[in-house]
């Protein structure tokens, strides 16, 4: 059976040990997902660390991470299983060449063809038919990109953790995977699917947590720099930007500054490295209109260790 | 839960809390409550913070509901501040709907004399066809609605990534079907099968301006939008006023009166002022540019009067234009003799509009349907 944490603290420590600092809400959600064996549905802005969470859980549990990236038009052949047609055809030709095809009837030939060795298992089937003691972590990424037909299918798989391949039989597991679904909310995912899951809306981290995250992920950044970076990002999020920077951008930025050998943020530095944080031309001009000096000032104030 | 005895049974607490949430219109199905109870038994009810996050994980499914949930939580678990004391007073405005009695009596007439009434009604619509919505009576609105429901807003197809079988050769091979077929020929792939890309209707997004200046038209246009939303999956609808409100869920009810009433209750600023650019920015940030408007046909129904800064509107229209397949602007005032897009907002938006059409009468809406379907 899969591992069940006893307390929420255990979850927080486990994730932290593998590079993910989660706040109390997310920790509770993960704790419940692991103990109630429910899928966890994460929504939030791009770059707040939804996908990273699944990876960290896999590292922490020492489990295989099976990722299903959703896209428009994804169907069962890409998500569940498909047959290896080229090998099937080769098998048929071989049977024909050896005269076996003529001897055995069509039914027998068909039985050989639709055998498990010609079955290509895709993410969902692999997550069910895993055969490990530790169940894998199944990450269903950006479910909002798939169309609703696929959602209905997913609902079926996630409620019973079984997949039926008509030619072979039913695959099921009593050791179901840990399932994480993420959505960027480009459309509403159907309520029936959400109801099957635990739900958490992932927010940008608080200032202190973000400093900790930077310190953990970019160890070469000094505490002052980490505080300044988090402070500047906090200031940027307060300006009305099209795409406020996420945690991923904060980490990238701190790493970039570290690589450039910069120890403190000033106006020139901010102006030059803005591209690692903001990815829209309009956002750049908005920051410049708003005043780079203001952002730097806030970064500086936040950088002070005691005050 | 009105009793003042201290309730410590977690199950009863959970059920009571669920009832509070339901009263606040947060959908709280029974299975979620059961999950909540289950989860509480693991987390315990001693630490308020854990109870809060447990509730958030099991009972909330939409970020819009979080604020309401927080209020309910404070009242129920912390006995703090009342739910009623909302800082911004919620104006419950209902759409001006034609009363149901009228509908009843009209049906009664139809029963009394079969055929003539129907033709009469039909000709009724005929005379209405080019009448300006602003001059409509409630009765006429009812008739017009029937006509609008007959307009099929479908949107043009676009290639989908889903494959479908085809007879045409030379597309992508359909291996699954080919292998199947070759079994019959003792393994010789004699008959080859093919697949090609399927078609899928484009998403349509309606943005309906409900500011004061649009009032005479908004009543009619919301019915048109409803006719477009009901029964289709890939249509979204929003109202633009002092704020942005998504009304897709409300309008998806097949019964138009119920749908309109639900939408009216949800929209708080019916006939308020507009800051078109600001609300469009909200739309772009929260929904449009994130994906909803990508490759979609965006239909803006507005007279283009904007109290805000026209530069903001132009900027947002440009953003929208970059992701949308086509932007159709429906302006009921366009038909006014000597009309030139004098409204500052309209002038700012026009460069980014692909089709600029009228929307003041049934004829105009029929025309609009054609524009949308053949965009």
Asked if residue B368 and residue B221 are part of one domain, the reply reads yes
pLDDT grade for B369, boundaries at 50, 70 and 90? confident
Q: What are phi and psi of A287, to 5 degrees?
A: -65, -40
Q: Which pLDDT score, from 0 to 100, does residue B44 have?
A: 85
Q: What residues in A contact B178, CB-CB < 8 Å? A: 85, 89
Percent of chain B topping pLDDT 90? 12
Q: Could you tell me the residue range of the domain that residue B180 belongs to?
A: 161-200
Model pLDDT for residues B12-57, shown as the tens digit of each residue: 888 889 998 988 888 888 889 999 999 998 888 888 899 999 999 9
Model pLDDT for residues A35-50, shown as the tens digit of each residue: 999 999 999 888 889 9
Structure tokens at A10: 């255990």
Looking at the partner chain, which of B54, B61, B176 has a beta carbon nearest the beta carbon of A191? B61
Residue B61 has pLDDT above 50, yes or no: yes
Domain boundary among B174, B200, B226: B200
A 10 A CB-CB count for B148 gives 22
**CA nearest to A88, candidates B178, B25, B63, B136:** B178
Domain boundary among B151, B170, B200: B200
Interface test with A, best of B29, B31, B36, B61 (most A CBs within 10 A): B61
| Position B19 in a domain | yes
Report A:252-281 residues touching B (Cβ under 8 A): none
Q: What residues in B contact A144, CB-CB < 8 Å? A: 291
| Position B16 in a domain | yes
Q: Per the CB < 8 Å rule, is A186 touching B42?
A: no
| Position B180 in a domain | yes
Structure tokens at B29: 């199905």
Q: ipTM higher than 0.90?
A: no
Identify residues of B whose CB sits under 8 angstroms from chain A CBs.
Answer: 27, 29, 31-32, 35, 38-39, 42-43, 49-50, 53-54, 56-58, 60-61, 63, 66, 160-162, 175-176, 178-179, 182-184, 186-189, 233, 284-285, 287, 289-292, 294, 315, 319
Q: Which pLDDT score, from 0 to 100, does residue B102 have?
A: 37
Collapsing DSSP to helix, strand or coil, A13 comes out as: helix
3-class DSSP string for chain B:
CCCCCCCCCHHHHHHHHHHHHHHCCCCCCHHHHHHHHHHHHHHCCCCHHHHHHHHHHHHCCCHHHHHHHHHHHHHHHHCCCCCCCCCCCCCCCCCCCCCHHHHHHHHHHHHHCHHHHHHHHHHHHHHHCCCCHHHCCHHHHHHHHHHHHHCCCCCCEEEEEEEEEECCCCCEECHHHHHHHHHHCCCCCCCCCEEEEEEEECCEEEEEECCHHHHHHHHHHHHHHHHHHCCCCCEEEEEECCCEEECHHHHCCCCHHHHHHHHHHHCCCCCCCCCHHHHHHHHHHHHHHHHHCCCCEEEEECCCCCCCCHHHHHHHHHHHHHHCCEEEEECHHHHCCCCCCCCHHHHHHHHHCCEEECCCCHHHHHHHHHHHHCC
Rounded-to-integer distance, Cα A176 and Cα A184, Å: 25
Q: Which pLDDT score, from 0 to 100, does residue B209 have?
A: 87
Domain range annotation of chain A: 8-73+127-202, 81-117, 207-303
Asked if residue B233 and residue B178 are part of one domain, the reply reads no
Q: Is A73 on the interface with B (CB under 8 A)?
A: yes
Q: Per the CB < 8 Å rule, is B56 touching A35?
A: no
A169-172 and A162-165 strand pairing: antiparallel
| Position B137 in a domain | no
Looking at residues B114-125, what average pLDDT do you find?
A: 37
Looking at the partner chain, which of A28, A38, A92 has a beta carbon nearest the beta carbon of B54? A28
Asked if residue B281 and residue B172 are part of one domain, the reply reads no
Q: B140 vs A55, which has greater pLDDT?
A: A55
Q: Is A105 on the interface with B (CB under 8 A)?
A: no
Q: B125 vs A218, which has greater pLDDT?
A: A218
Q: What are phi and psi of B259, to 5 degrees?
A: -60, -45
Q: What residues in A contact B185, CB-CB < 8 Å? A: none
pLDDT grade for B184, boundaries at 50, 70 and 90? confident
Distance (Å) from the C-alpha of residue B260 to the closest C-alpha of chain A? 21
Q: A55 vs B146, which has greater pLDDT?
A: A55
Q: Which pLDDT score, from 0 to 100, does residue A218 have?
A: 93
Rounded-to-integer distance, Cα B280 and Cα B286, Å: 10
Model pLDDT for residues A191-219, shown as the tens digit of each residue: 889 989 999 999 999 999 999 999 999 99
| Position B146 in a domain | no
Domain boundary among B147, B169, B200: B200
Structure tokens at B314: 């132009």
Q: Is A237 on the interface with B (CB under 8 A)?
A: no
Q: Which pLDDT score, from 0 to 100, does residue A306 have?
A: 60
Distance (Å) from the C-alpha of residue B85 to the closest C-alpha of chain A? 26
Rounded-to-integer distance, Cα B42 and Cα B54, Å: 10
Q: Which pLDDT score, from 0 to 100, does residue B39 have?
A: 92
pLDDT grade for B112, boundaries at 50, 70 and 90? very low
Q: A135 vs B128, which has greater pLDDT?
A: A135
B157-166 and B194-201 strand pairing: antiparallel
Asked if residue B213 and residue B322 are part of one domain, the reply reads yes
Beta bridge partners of B355: B328
| Position B184 in a domain | yes
Q: Which pLDDT score, from 0 to 100, does residue B7 have?
A: 53
Asked if residue B294 and residue B187 are part of one domain, the reply reads no
Which CATH number belongs to the domain containing residue B334 in this structure? 3.40.50.410
Q: Indicate the average pLDDT of chain A.
A: 89
Q: Which pLDDT score, from 0 to 100, does residue A282 have?
A: 82
Structure tokens at B131: 């009448």
- Nearest chain A alpha carbon to B287: A186
pLDDT grade for B254, boundaries at 50, 70 and 90? low
Percent of chain A as helix, strand, coil, to the nearest 5 = 55, 15, 30
Q: Per the CB < 8 Å rule, is B162 touching A36?
A: no
Asked if A240 contacts A207 with a C-beta cutoff of 8 angstroms, the reply is: no
pLDDT grade for B291, boundaries at 50, 70 and 90? confident
Q: Which pLDDT score, from 0 to 100, does residue A146 have?
A: 87
A&B contacts, CB < 8 Å: 120
Number of domains in chain B: 3
Q: Per the CB < 8 Å rule, is A92 touching B183?
A: yes
Q: Which pLDDT score, from 0 to 100, does residue A209 have?
A: 93
Residue B234 has pLDDT above 70, yes or no: yes
Asked if B302 contacts B331 with a C-beta cutoff of 8 angstroms, the reply is: yes
Q: Per the CB < 8 Å rule, is B50 touching A35?
A: no
Collapsing DSSP to helix, strand or coil, A10 comes out as: helix
| Position B1 in a domain | no
Looking at residues B249-269, what average pLDDT do you find?
A: 70
Q: Per the CB < 8 Å rule, is B50 touching A186?
A: no
Model pLDDT for residues A67-124, shown as the tens digit of each residue: 999 988 888 888 999 999 889 888 888 887 887 766 777 778 788 888 889 999 999 9
Q: Per the CB < 8 Å rule, is B57 touching A8?
A: no
Q: Per the CB < 8 Å rule, is A73 touching B175?
A: no
Model pLDDT for residues A271-286, shown as the tens digit of each residue: 999 999 998 888 898 8
Query: Is the pTM here over 0.90, yes or no?
Result: no
Q: Which pLDDT score, from 0 to 100, does residue A131 have?
A: 87
Domain A8-73+127-202 has CATH 1.10.3720.10: no
Cα B85 to chain centroid, rounded: 29
Q: Per the CB < 8 Å rule, is A28 touching B188?
A: no
pLDDT grade for B85, boundaries at 50, 70 and 90? very low
Asked if residue B258 and residue B167 are part of one domain, the reply reads no
pLDDT grade for B1, boundaries at 50, 70 and 90? very low
Q: What residues in A contact B289, CB-CB < 8 Å? A: 242
Q: Which pLDDT score, from 0 to 100, does residue B268 have?
A: 61
Q: B120 vs A3, which has greater pLDDT?
A: A3
Asked if A46 contacts A86 with a C-beta cutoff of 8 angstroms, the reply is: no
Residue B109 has pLDDT above 60, yes or no: no
Rounded-to-integer distance, Cα B7 and Cα B13, Å: 7
Looking at residues B95-103, what average pLDDT do you find?
A: 34
Looking at residues A243-254, what average pLDDT do you find?
A: 92
Q: What residues in A contact B50, CB-CB < 8 Å? A: 8, 24, 28
Distance (Å) from the C-alpha of residue A222 to the closest C-alpha of chain B? 33
């Amino acid at each position: 059976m899969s591992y069940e944490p006893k307390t929420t603290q255990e979850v927080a420590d486990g994730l932290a040990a593998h590079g993910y600092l989660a706040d109390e809400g997310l920790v509770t959600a993960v704790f419940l997902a692991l103990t109630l064996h429910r899928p966890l549905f994460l929504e939030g802005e791009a770059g707040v660390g939804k996908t990273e969470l699944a990876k960290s859980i896999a590292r922490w549990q020492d489990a295989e991470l099976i990722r299903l990236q959703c896209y428009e038009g994804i169907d069962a052949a890409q998500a569940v299983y498909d047959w290896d047609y080229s090998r099937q055809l080769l098998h048929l030709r071989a049977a024909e060449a050896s005269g076996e095809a003529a001897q055995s009837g069509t039914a027998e030939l068909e039985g050989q063809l639709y055998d498990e060795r010609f079955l290509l298992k895709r993410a969902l089937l692999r997550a069910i038919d895993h055969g490990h003691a530790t169940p894998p972590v199944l990450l269903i990424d950006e479910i909002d990109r798939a169309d609703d037909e696929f959602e209905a299918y997913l609902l079926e798989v996630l409620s019973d953790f079984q997949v039926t391949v008509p030619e072979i039989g039913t695959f099921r597991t009593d050791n179901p995977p840990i399932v994480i679904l993420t959505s960027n909310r480009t459309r509403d995912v159907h309520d029936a699917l959400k109801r099957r899951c635990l739900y958490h809306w992932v927010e940008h981290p608080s200032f202190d947590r973000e400093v900790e995250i930077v310190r953990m992920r970019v160890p070469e950044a000094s505490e002052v720099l980490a505080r300044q970076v988090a402070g500047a990002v906090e200031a940027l999020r307060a300006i009305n930007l099209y795409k406020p920077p996420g945690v991923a951008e904060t980490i990238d930025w701190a790493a970039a500054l570290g690589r450039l050998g910069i120890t403190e943020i000033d106006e020139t530095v901010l102006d030059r490295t803005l591209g690692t944080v903001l990815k829209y031309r309009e956002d750049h001009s908005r920051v410049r209109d708003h005043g780079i000096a203001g952002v730097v000032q806030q970064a500086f104030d936040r950088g002070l260790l005691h005050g | 839960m009105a009793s003042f005895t201290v309730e410590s049974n977690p199950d009863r607490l959970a059920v009571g809390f669920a009832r509070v949430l339901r009263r606040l219109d947060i959908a709280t199905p029974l299975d979620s409550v059961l999950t909540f109870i289950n989860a509480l038994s693991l987390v315990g009810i001693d630490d308020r913070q854990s109870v809060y996050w447990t509730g958030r994980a099991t009972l909330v499914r939409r970020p819009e509901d979080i604020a309401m949930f927080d209020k309910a939580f404070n009242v129920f678990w912390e006995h703090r501040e009342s739910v009623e004391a909302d800082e911004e007073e919620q104006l419950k405005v209902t759409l001006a709907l034609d009363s149901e009695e009228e509908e009843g009596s009209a049906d009664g007439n139809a029963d009394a004399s079969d055929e003539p009434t129907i033709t009469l009604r039909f000709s009724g619509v005929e005379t209405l066809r080019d009448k300006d919505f602003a001059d409509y009576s409630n009765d006429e609105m009812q008739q017009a609605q029937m006509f609008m429901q007959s307009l099929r807003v479908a949107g043009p197809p676009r290639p989908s990534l889903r494959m479908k079988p085809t007879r045409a050769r030379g597309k992508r091979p359909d291996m699954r079907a080919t292998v199947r077929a070759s079994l019959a020929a003792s393994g010789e792939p004699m008959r080859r099968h093919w697949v090609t890309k399927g078609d899928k209707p484009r998403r349509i997004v309606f943005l309906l301006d409900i500011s004061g200046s649009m009032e005479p038209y908004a009543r009619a246009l919301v019915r048109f939008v409803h006719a477009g939303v009901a029964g289709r999956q890939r249509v979204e609808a929003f109202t633009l006023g002092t704020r942005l409100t998504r009304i897709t869920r409300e309008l998806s009810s097949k019964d138009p009166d119920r749908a309109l009433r639900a939408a009216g209750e949800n929209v708080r600023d019916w006939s308020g002022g507009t800051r078109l650019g600001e609300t469009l920015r909200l739309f772009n940030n929260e929904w449009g540019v994130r994906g909803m408007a990508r490759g979609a046909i965006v239909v803006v129904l507005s007279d283009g009067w904007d109290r805000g800064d026209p530069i903001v509107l132009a900027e947002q229209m440009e953003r929208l234009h970059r992701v949308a397949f086509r932007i159709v602007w429906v302006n009921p005032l366009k038909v006014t003799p000597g009309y030139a897009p004098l409204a500052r907002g309209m002038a700012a938006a026009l460069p980014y509009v692909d089709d600029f059409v009228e929307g003041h009468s049934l004829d105009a809406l029929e025309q609009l349907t054609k524009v949308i379907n053949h965009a």
